[in-house]
Amino acid sequence: MRPLKFYRYMFYLQYKFSRSLWDNDAQFSALVGTALTLMAQFVFLIVTLSYVLKFSFGINLLKNVGPHHVLICSFSFLGLSYLLFYKNNKWKAIINEFRNLEEENRNFHFFLYLFVCFFLAFYPIFFKIFLGIDLSN
């Protein structure tokens, strides 16, 4: 199974960032970062769809989450990331795919990626300020 190009590029950016920090195991650092990003996107989709569809399942599910649920979810997304990006050295093909991108495109995509990560980290605040939706209820 091959992940979407956006996710492959996200992995590549995380790999490059890890390499810039002199990480000897940058592919594993990128794998963990990708897993965390996928998990944040999954939670964002559950919360957003719950509000848009007026369906409280997602919100009630998130209110009853305990530490063991977070661990299970984290390991599930880590396993998914392993299958998509790491198994059979898939990460090498992903790195080679984006290695020759033009600098201009690379900068644009990097800032787009940062915006997505920033939004996922702070979307409850954005929802409350701009849409008047309080996710804490």
In tens digits, what is the pLDDT along the chain, a chain of 137 residues?
788 888 888 888 888 888 888 767 888 888 998 898 888 888 878 777 777 777 766 666 667 777 887 888 889 999 999 998 889 889 999 888 888 776 666 677 777 777 877 777 777 777 777 767 676 65
What pLDDT, on a 0 to 100 scale, did the predictor assign at position 104?
61
d(CA 29, CA 97): 19
In the chain, domain spans: 5-131
Q: Which one-letter DSSP state was computed for residue 94? A: H
What pLDDT, on a 0 to 100 scale, did the predictor assign at position 76?
92
- Residues 71/77, Cβ–Cβ less than 8 Å: no
- Cβ atoms within 10 Å of 131's Cβ, excluding its own: 9
**Torsion over CA of 117, 119, 125 and 127, rounded to 10 degrees?**
-140
CA 13 to chain centre: 12
What pLDDT, on a 0 to 100 scale, did the predictor assign at position 109?
72
Q: Taking the complete model, does pTM exceed 0.85, yes or no?
A: no
